[in-house]
C-alpha cells in the first residue's frame, strides 16, 4: 500500500496571500471607484536591467546556431558566472570564497528549503519569529517537528524578534544544531552588524552547530560598514552556508537565478561526532537532483557584474530605497514605531493592534494594501509589513492617503 509522507499533514495551510486577495476583491466590489495601491508586494516591480536583457538576447541567439548551441551545462553553474560572483560578491569585500564553493541554482527559496536534506532527521532547528515560512515548513516536511500548537510547531526553537531586542534574535538557551538567520531580514527589514554575526559564528563554533544564512536582500544594504556576507566575519567558513539570489538584486524573480555558498571547510558531524564536510554532500545532492540554470539566464546574471550592469542595478535599488525612505518619513510623521527601511525594501510597522484589524482598517479607509504580520509568526501578530517594491508615484500617493486617514 502506497502511503503518503505523514509529516505533510502537520503543515498549516498558508491563507495569508489568498486571504489578502479575497479581502481586496471584496473591497473592490464594494468600492469600484477606489484605486487599490499594493504595498504588500514581496516581488520586484521594475524591469530587468538593460545589460541583462542584452546578454540574454545574445545567449538566445547563440542557442539558435549549431556551432554555438549549448546543451546540458555544469550542474553547479558555468565558470564564467561562478568566477564573477567570487570576485565581485566576496573577494572585493575581503571574504575568501572560491568559484568552486559556489553552486548556481534557480532560487534561494529552493536552496534554503532543500539544504536541510543533507542533515540528520534528529537535527534541532532554531528559527526567528517572525520568519520566512520556507525555513519552517521544509523542516516540518522532513519530520523534524511535532504538531502545530498555539501558532508554533513543537520541537522547533523559535527566537522572538521584538521591539525589546531591536528585532534581532537572541542566542538560544536551548540546545540547537541548525540556525536559520536572514539579514537584511524578511519581514522585519533589520540588518546585522559584523559584531552580531560574530556572536552567531562563535555560538555555532562552540556548539558544533551550523548557520544557514539567507542574504537574499544584501543588495539593499546602504552602509558600507555593514557585512553583506557572513564570510566577512572570521571563522564563518567552518560553520555557515550562505544563500544569495538575483531575484531582488536585479529583478530576477520571474527569470530565476540564485546561488548557494558552501565553503570547503564547512562541516557537520557523523554519529560518532567526527566532522564531515558539507561541500561534497551538497555537490552530490545538487548534481543528482538539479540540472543547472538555463544558459541565457546565467549570461543575464553574469551581466549584473558588468560595469553597465552594476550601474543599472544600483539605480534600480536606489529607486526602491527612495520609496522606502518615503514610507519611513511618513511613519515618523505619524508617530509609528517601525524597523527596517534603511537597508531593506521592507518596513515592519508596530500597528499596536491586531495585524488583520489594521490591514482591514487601512484598506477600508485608504485603499492601501499591506501584509499582516501574523502571516510570519506569532511575534508578528500586531505588526504589518509595508513594501517598497512599487513606483514612487504609487508609494507617494499611498502615504498621502494614509496621512489623511490616520494623521
Ligand atoms: N529568501 C527570502 C528571505 C525571501 O524573502 C525570498 C523571497 O521573497 C527568497 C529567499 C526567495 O528567493 P528566490 O526568488 O531566489 O527563490
User: Got the DSSP string for 212-278?
Assistant: EEE-TTGGG---TTS-SSGGGSTTGGGTEEEEEEHHHHHSTTTT--EEEE--TT-EEE-TTS-EEEH
pLDDT at 392: 98
pLDDT for 150:
87
Residue 13: predicted pLDDT:
80
Which grid coordinates are listed for 148? 502545530
* pLDDT averaged over 10-residue windows placed end to end, the chain, 407 residues: 96 84 94 95 94 98 98 98 98 97 98 98 98 96 95 96 97 96 98 98 98 98 97 98 98 98 98 97 98 98 98 98 98 98 98 97 97 96 98 98 93
Distance, C-alpha 281 to centroid of its chain: 23
**pLDDT single digits (tens) 172-192:** 999 999 999 999 999 999 999
Task: Say what the pLDDT of residue 361 is.
Answer: 97
Three-class SS of residue 64? coil
Distance (Å) from CA 34 to ligand 1 centroid: 31
Question: Is the CB of residue 371 below 6 angstroms from any atom belonging to ligand 1?
Answer: no
Asked if residue 44 has its Cβ within 6 Å of ligand 1, the reply is no
With a 6 Å cutoff on the Cβ, whether 145 touches ligand 1 is no
**In degrees, to the nearest 5, what angle opens at C-alpha 308 toward C-alphas 311 and 213?**
60
The pLDDT of residue 41: 82
Supply the mean pLDDT for the chain. Answer: 97
**Ligand 1 atom closest to the CA of 258, numbered from 1:** 15
Ligand 1 midpoint to CA 238 (Å) = 24
Q: Is 143 helix (H, G, I), strand (E, B) or coil?
A: coil
What are the grid coordinates assigned to 400, written together? 498621502
**pTM for the full predicted model:** 0.97
Instruction: Give residue 100's pLDDT.
Output: 98
- Residue ID of nearest Cα to ligand 1 atom 8: 42
Helix 50-63 / helix 307-334 crossing angle, nearest 10 deg? 140
Between the CA of 216 and the centroid of ligand 1 the distance, in Å, is 6
Cα end-to-end distance, the chain, whole Å? 63
Q: Identify the pLDDT of residue 168.
A: 98
Work out which ligand 1 atom sits closest to the CA atom of 42: 8
> Which single residue is written with the C-alpha cell 546556431?
65
Taking the CA atoms of 292, 295, 299 and 304 in sequence, report the sign of the dihedral they define: negative
> 365 and 405 in contact (C-beta within 8 Å)?
yes
Amino acid at each position: 500500500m502506497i502511503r503518503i509522507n505523514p509529516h505533510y499533514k502537520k503543515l498549516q495551510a498558508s491563507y495569508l496571500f489568498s486571504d489578502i486577495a479575497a479581502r481586496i476583491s471584496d473591497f473592490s466590489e464594494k468600492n469600484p471607484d477606489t484605486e487599490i495601491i499594493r504595498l504588500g508586494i514581496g516581488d520586484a516591480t521594475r524591469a530587468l536591467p538593460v545589460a541583462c536583457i542584452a546578454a540574454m538576447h545574445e545567449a538566445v541567439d547563440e542557442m539558435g546556431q549549431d556551432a554555438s548551441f549549448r546543451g546540458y551545462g555544469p550542474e553547479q553553474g558555468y565558470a564564467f558566472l561562478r568566477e564573477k560572483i567570487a570576485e565581485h560578491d566576496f573577494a572585493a569585500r575581503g571574504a575568501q570564497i572560491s568559484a568552486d564553493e559556489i553552486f548556481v541554482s534557480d532560487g534561494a527559496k529552493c536552496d534554503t528549503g532543500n539544504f536541510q536534506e543533507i542533515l540528520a532527521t534528529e537535527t534541532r532547528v532554531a528559527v526567528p519569529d517572525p520568519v520566512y515560512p520556507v525555513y519552517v515548513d521544509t523542516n516540518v516536511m522532513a519530520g523534524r517537528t511535532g504538531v502545530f500548537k498555539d501558532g508554533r510547531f513543537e520541537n522547533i526553537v523559535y527566537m522572538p524578534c521584538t521591539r525589546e531586542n531591536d528585532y534581532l534574535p537572541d542566542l538560544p538557551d536551548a540546545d540547537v544544531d541548525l540556525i536559520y538567520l536572514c539579514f537584511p531580514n524578511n519581514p522585519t527589514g533589520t540588518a546585522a552588524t559584523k559584531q552580531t554575526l560574530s556572536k552567531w559564528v562563535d555560538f555555532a563554533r562552540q556548539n558544533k552547530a551550523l548557520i544557514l544564512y539567507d542574504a537574499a536582500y544584501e543588495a539593499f544594504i546602504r552602509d558600507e560598514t555593514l557585512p553583506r556576507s557572513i564570510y566577512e566575519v572570521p571563522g564563518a567558513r567552518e560553520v555557515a552556508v550562505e544563500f544569495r539570489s538575483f531575484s531582488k538584486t536585479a529583478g530576477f524573480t520571474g527569470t530565476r537565478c540564485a546561488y548557494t555558498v558552501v565553503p570547503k571547510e564547512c562541516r557537520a558531524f557523523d554519529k560518532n561526532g567526527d566532522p564531515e564536510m558539507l561541500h561534497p554532500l551538497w555537490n552530490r545532492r545538487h548534481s543528482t537532483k538539479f540540472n543547472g540554470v538555463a544558459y541565457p539566464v546565467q549570461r543575464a546574471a553574469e551581466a549584473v557584474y558588468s560595469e553597465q550592469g552594476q550601474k543599472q542595478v544600483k539605480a534600480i535599488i536606489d529607486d526602491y530605497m527612495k520609496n522606502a525612505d518615503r514610507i519611513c518619513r511618513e511613519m515618523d510623521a505619524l508617530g509609528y514605531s517601525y524597523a527596517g527601511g534603511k537597508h531593506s525594501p521592507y518596513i515592519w510597522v508596530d500597528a499596536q493592534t491586531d495585524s488583520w484589524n489594521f490591514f482591514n482598517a487601512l484598506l477600508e479607509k485608504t485603499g492601501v494594501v499591506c501584509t499582516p504580520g501574523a502571516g510570519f509568526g506569532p511575534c508578528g501578530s500586531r505588526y504589518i509589513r509595508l513594501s517598497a517594491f512599487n513606483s514612487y508615484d504609487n508609494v507617494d500617493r499611498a502615504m498621502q492617503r494614509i496621512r489623511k486617514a490616520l494623521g
